[in-house]
Amino acid sequence: DVKVTQSSRYLVKRTGEKVFLECVQDMDHENMFWYRQDPGLGLRLIYFSYDVKMKEKGDIPEGYSVSREKKERFSLILESASTNQTSMYLCASSLPRSVTFQETQYFGPGTRLLVL
């Protein structure tokens, strides 16, 4: 079974703090993704990565950065947290489409972040 883990289930941070959300997958997947989920809006893609040290902006990258130094780990960084970044953050991983043809993604349990 694919396992995707996220470092925290709940986090409370103050405005202006630097926040690190960590994601680790154990299935040697090339692709990794960060989403945020807000009520009624579905999952929105923040950043994704197809390989180590490679990153691409998703639909809503503003205020975020990412790091992928190792294949199994993809970190989301909030350089200076703001209240509008209060949300549920989900990490996912998948095999490349050249292997599977469909982009089935495997998700972590999510981190619920509250920025005060």
Instruction: Enumerate binding residues for other proteins (CB under 8 A).
Output: 4, 35, 40-45, 48, 58-59, 90, 97, 102-110
Output 43 or 77, the one with its CB closest to other proteins: 43
Quote the CA–CA distance of 15 and 83 in Å, as a whole number.
6
Q: What angle do CA 101, 102, 103 make, to 5 degrees?
A: 125
Min CB(94)–other proteins separation in Å: 9
**Which residue lies nearer to other proteins by CB, 32 or 81?**
32
Work out how close the CB of 42 gets to other proteins at its nearest, in angstroms, rounded to a whole number.
Answer: 4
Instruction: List CB contacts of 101: < 8 A, sequence separation 6 or more.
Output: none
3-state secondary structure 43-73: EEEEEEECCCCCCEECCCCCCEEEEEEECCE
Nearer to other proteins, 79 or 103 (CB): 103
Among 32, 26, 37, CA closest to 4: 26
Least Å from the CB of residue 107 to other proteins? 4
Q: Which is nearer to other proteins, 59 or 62 (CB)?
A: 59
> Minimum distance between the CB of residue 76 and other proteins, rounded to whole angstroms?
16
